[in-house]
Chains A and B, each alone.
Chain A
Amino acid sequence: MNSLNRYVPNGFNKFTSSSAYKDKKRIVIDEVISTNTNKLLNNISEVFDKIGIKDGDTLSFHHHLRSGDYVLNMVCEEIKRRNIKNLTLAPSGIFPTNRILSDLIKNKNVIKIYCNYINGEVARTICNGEMEDLLIMQTHGGRPRAIESGELKIDVAFIATPTANLYGDGNGIDGKSACGALGYGISDTKYAKNKVVVTDNLVDEIKYKEIDGKYIDYVVKVDEIGDKNGIVSGTTKVTKDPIGLKIAKDATRFLDEAGYLTDGFTMQTGAGGTSLAVASFVKKVMINKNIKAKMASGGITGYFVDMLENGLVEKLMDVQCFDLDAVRSYRENDHHYAMSASQYANPYDSPIVNQLDFVILGATEIDLEFNVNVTTASNGLIIGGSGGHSDTAHGASLTIIVTPLVKSRTPIIKEKVTTITTPGEDVDVIVTERGIAINPKRLDLIEKLSNSSLNILSIEELLNKAQMLTGIPKPINLGKKVIGVVEYRDGTIIDSIYKWGK
């Protein structure tokens, strides 16, 4: 058991606290520079031949094209065709469009997966206990830490690159599949043994270089690396739902009353409708107070682009573009910067998340210790993962979770969450439509808001309110078999994930 009383399988380090990384030294292996001069290959199959991809190798991918990505599937097709076995895959994200992976898992072509976010059929296959080894759910900051330290050894990194030259320099801003920043693939290009740029726009000259060809061994030209329209992440518009708006309004009032909305503040909100609604209300406060934000970071949407273009935000730090407005802005605006996942969230890289005054995050479950689950649904099925959740929660001075108190007749606040993704020690405030709970550890906030007319309750009171509406849900019966682990950003295990169903 770890410090949060969660089971940790043998062979893994146990989570102790979100600050424990400070007691350890950063480990960085040597970068792998390519010596290859003749890099162009005609197709994915040639890559397998040239590198000699074999049973037991580890292959990595980034997920910047999200639901529009074709590269992971192309490689999976080749694995299937060659029937290579016992592979480990390390994509930064897996989406419903990657369903071919389910077949590879069932056929033992793929026996282990590292990723930061997963949903859809592949998640279901893994939850059914069909993968031989474990699923390792990392964070956006934990992944580059694991790669640079050699903890996650990658044999071949496939880097989907919307525009590249023959040397392997590339970017995500040009070409028919332009998806914007390529932050999640940067560590892979530096530390994997073999690196392959996969592009559908091969050019003579690269004006802006995000992928550095010095690391790249091969460049493959394919017809299409993906559909850029698939990068649009869920809801990227401000919600019109009255409950979501009420939550967002109260979260904004909380920020203001707690003194976080002053000139030069820094922020991150997710791309969900309620998070963006917080941004929209924050924007109104900024206009009324005539103040500017110094920085907004994370996955960037058109909403933040609009704030940048209207002079409300000085700069955007972008690890991935959530819509095509963000892609355009990244291409055209000098104050819209890309950052690698390591610069964004690696605990040992003085990450941008440490500069955040506040972050607005979501949750599928929260417990009385303020631990948050964004990995599994309350029925145990994997529906997401940390992404940058636990990274930003630790880095930001104030972490606010915005969520309805009840979703689909299920209370969001529970005595014990199904899976811990982010430890309660890093979660400061929960804003629901029926009240706001402040983590008792934040005495400063409790004192500052003591005269507020906001409906501030204890988390136990919120739980009671939820249970009065829904009754006490019957505990779910998860299997005892561990099918995965949630790896905290420092590489320790914060929780285990169990086989779904009885």
Chain B
Amino acid sequence: MRRSMLFIPGNNPGMLQTAEVFDADSIIFDLEDAISISEKDSARNLVKYFLTSFNLGKKEVVIRINGLDTLYYNDDLDAIVNDNIDSIMVPKANIEELNKLSLILDKYEEKRLMKKKIKLIPIIELASSLLEVEDIAKLKRVDGILLGAEDLTSDMEVERTKEATEIFYPRAKIAFACISEKIDAIDTPYTNTLDEEGLYKDCQLAKSIGLNAKACIHPNQVDLVNEVFSPSKKQIEYAKRVIDATLQNENKGAFSLDGKMIDKPIIERCKKVLEKAKRFGLLR
């Protein structure tokens, strides 16, 4: 369960060192787009040795590797697959390559006597991948799917706009696919790092469609993303009251609270609110 995932370029020692300071649920160490070809090896080594020396506590450690259609992914995997990481983010993902990657990871996990089973977070960046997204969501290692709107709109040859109408369908499709498999539906980053109001509106829109988390490309975006994708104080208080009232009305299918009917769907929603609140340390 995530709210915010912060991208950190793998070749920047200063940024690696301060990544843990921010309240992102996941840190994505990027070996792909943010790294020029001449820096690929140094980024790979820097991230590898950084993760050996630094403990990022409860934060999820994600590595965005280079795509399986490149020359670099094998070296990426060789360097970073170990118990220091939690997940691998896969660019331009499709079913075939995800299955291939899963088999490679099986071998690494066995050979390196790993305690962890590495999770996969595919990025949907191609129209063809979007059409496969329901199957992708079903894959065993996949526990979240990220919409990569910049590449996807490029593939579609449509303009990427602030209003984001062009990505309504991909957002909704990913949300449905993920929710049905109880995995995270992660929204595309908001690329204007100075536009706080725009980020807020974009988060609200994504949330209203059903996505539950968002990738961040700047640390200053994290708090706002967390705020939008966390249950509010009001929601938490209400959920607590509903659950308390449920315990007092154990044998009733439905009962009344503040003059409103409380039945199973509301109770389930409240349970989810409290589960999220607990996960994100919002319960006092």
- A and B: bona fide binding partners: yes
Complex CA distance for A469 and B284, rounded to whole angstroms:
32
Flag whether B22 is at the interface (Cβ < 8 A): yes
Which of B135-143, B218-226, B251-259, B267-275 is the contact stretch?
B218-226
Q: Are B284 and A243 in contact (CB under 8 A)?
A: no
Q: A138 to nearest B CB, angstroms?
A: 37
* Residues from chain A with Cβ under 8 Å of B265 in the complex: none
Q: Are B17 and A246 in contact (CB under 8 A)?
A: no
Closest to A452 in B: B284
In chain B between 205 and 221, which residues have their CB closer than 8 angstroms to a CB of chain A? 218-220
Q: B12 to nearest A CB, angstroms?
A: 13
Flag whether B261 is at the interface (Cβ < 8 A): no
Q: Are A249 and B281 in contact (CB under 8 A)?
A: no
* Residues from chain B with Cβ under 8 Å of A433 in the complex: 18, 21
* Residues from chain B with Cβ under 8 Å of A242 in the complex: 18, 22, 218-220
- Using an 8 Å CB-CB cutoff, how does the interface string of B129-152 with A read, 1 for contact, 0 for none? 000000000000000000000000
Flag whether A240 is at the interface (Cβ < 8 A): yes
Flag whether A360 is at the interface (Cβ < 8 A): no
Flag whether A451 is at the interface (Cβ < 8 A): yes
Complex CA distance for A453 and B283, rounded to whole angstroms:
10
Flag whether A434 is at the interface (Cβ < 8 A): yes
Flag whether A245 is at the interface (Cβ < 8 A): yes
Complex CA distance for A245 and B18, rounded to whole angstroms:
13
Complex CA distance for A428 and B22, rounded to whole angstroms:
24
* Residues from chain A with Cβ under 8 Å of B220 in the complex: 240, 242, 245
Complex CA distance for A249 and B21, rounded to whole angstroms:
13
* Residues from chain B with Cβ under 8 Å of A246 in the complex: 21-22, 219
Q: Are A451 and B21 in contact (CB under 8 A)?
A: no
Closest to B218 in A: A242
Closest to B284 in A: A451
- Among A242, A245, A433, A469, the one with the most B-chain Cβ atoms within 10 Å of its Cβ is A242
Interface residue count on the A side (C-beta < 8 Å): 11
Q: A409 to nearest B CB, angstroms?
A: 10
In chain A between 340 and 393, which residues have their CB closer than 8 angstroms to a CB of chain B? none
Complex CA distance for A245 and B221, rounded to whole angstroms:
11
Q: Are B281 and A434 in contact (CB under 8 A)?
A: no
Q: B223 to nearest A CB, angstroms?
A: 7
Closest to B23 in A: A246
Complex CA distance for A249 and B284, rounded to whole angstroms:
20
- Using an 8 Å CB-CB cutoff, how does the interface string of A235-266 with B read, 1 for contact, 0 for none? 00000101101100100000000000000000
Q: A26 to nearest B CB, angstroms?
A: 47
Q: Are B22 and A453 in contact (CB under 8 A)?
A: no
Q: Are B281 and A453 in contact (CB under 8 A)?
A: yes
* Residues from chain B with Cβ under 8 Å of A249 in the complex: 223
* Residues from chain B with Cβ under 8 Å of A434 in the complex: 21
Complex CA distance for A434 and B17, rounded to whole angstroms:
11
* Residues from chain B with Cβ under 8 Å of A469 in the complex: 17
* Residues from chain A with Cβ under 8 Å of B21 in the complex: 243, 246, 433-434
* Residues from chain A with Cβ under 8 Å of B18 in the complex: 242-243, 433
Q: A445 to nearest B CB, angstroms?
A: 19
* Residues from chain B with Cβ under 8 Å of A240 in the complex: 220
Q: A276 to nearest B CB, angstroms?
A: 15
* Residues from chain A with Cβ under 8 Å of B17 in the complex: 469
Complex CA distance for A425 and B152, rounded to whole angstroms:
59
Closest to A469 in B: B17
Closest to A242 in B: B219
Closest to A451 in B: B284
- Among B21, B219, B281, the one with the most A-chain Cβ atoms within 10 Å of its Cβ is B21
Q: B55 to nearest A CB, angstroms?
A: 10
* Residues from chain B with Cβ under 8 Å of A453 in the complex: 281, 284
Q: B284 to nearest A CB, angstroms?
A: 7
* Residues from chain A with Cβ under 8 Å of B218 in the complex: 242
Closest to B223 in A: A249
- Using an 8 Å CB-CB cutoff, how does the interface string of A443-472 with B read, 1 for contact, 0 for none? 000000001010000000000000001000
- Among B18, B218, B223, the one with the most A-chain Cβ atoms within 10 Å of its Cβ is B18
Q: A284 to nearest B CB, angstroms?
A: 11
Q: B27 to nearest A CB, angstroms?
A: 13
Complex CA distance for A243 and B14, rounded to whole angstroms:
11
Q: A92 to nearest B CB, angstroms?
A: 37
Closest to B15 in A: A242
Complex CA distance for A453 and B230, rounded to whole angstroms:
16
Q: A259 to nearest B CB, angstroms?
A: 17
* Residues from chain A with Cβ under 8 Å of B219 in the complex: 242, 246
Closest to A455 in B: B21
Q: A471 to nearest B CB, angstroms?
A: 12
In chain A between 159 and 207, which residues have their CB closer than 8 angstroms to a CB of chain B? none
* Residues from chain B with Cβ under 8 Å of A451 in the complex: 284
* Residues from chain B with Cβ under 8 Å of A243 in the complex: 18, 21
- Using an 8 Å CB-CB cutoff, how does the interface string of B1-44 with A read, 1 for contact, 0 for none? 00000000000000001100110000000000000000000000
Complex CA distance for A440 and B63, rounded to whole angstroms:
41
Q: A287 to nearest B CB, angstroms?
A: 15
- Among A245, A246, A434, A453, the one with the most B-chain Cβ atoms within 10 Å of its Cβ is A246
Q: B224 to nearest A CB, angstroms?
A: 11
Q: A417 to nearest B CB, angstroms?
A: 24
Q: A233 to nearest B CB, angstroms?
A: 24
Q: B133 to nearest A CB, angstroms?
A: 33
* Residues from chain A with Cβ under 8 Å of B281 in the complex: 453
Complex CA distance for A469 and B55, rounded to whole angstroms:
11
Complex CA distance for A412 and B95, rounded to whole angstroms:
50
Complex CA distance for A330 and B249, rounded to whole angstroms:
65
Closest to A433 in B: B21
Q: B56 to nearest A CB, angstroms?
A: 13
Closest to B18 in A: A243
Complex CA distance for A451 and B223, rounded to whole angstroms:
21
Q: A274 to nearest B CB, angstroms?
A: 14
Complex CA distance for A243 and B22, rounded to whole angstroms:
8
Complex CA distance for A236 and B223, rounded to whole angstroms:
24
Give 5 CB contacts A-B under 8 Å.
A242-B218, A243-B18, A243-B21, A246-B219, A434-B21
Closest 8 CB pairs of A and B: A242-B219, A433-B21, A242-B220, A243-B18, A246-B21, A434-B21, A245-B220, A453-B281
Apart from the given pairs A242-B218, A242-B219, A246-B22, 17 other A-B contacts in the complex at a CB distance below 8 Å = A240-B220, A242-B18, A242-B22, A242-B220, A243-B18, A243-B21, A245-B220, A246-B21, A246-B219, A249-B223, A433-B18, A433-B21, A434-B21, A451-B284, A453-B281, A453-B284, A469-B17
Binding site for B on A (CB under 8 A): 240, 242-243, 245-246, 249, 433-434, 451, 453, 469
Binding site for A on B (CB under 8 A): 17-18, 21-22, 218-220, 223, 281, 284
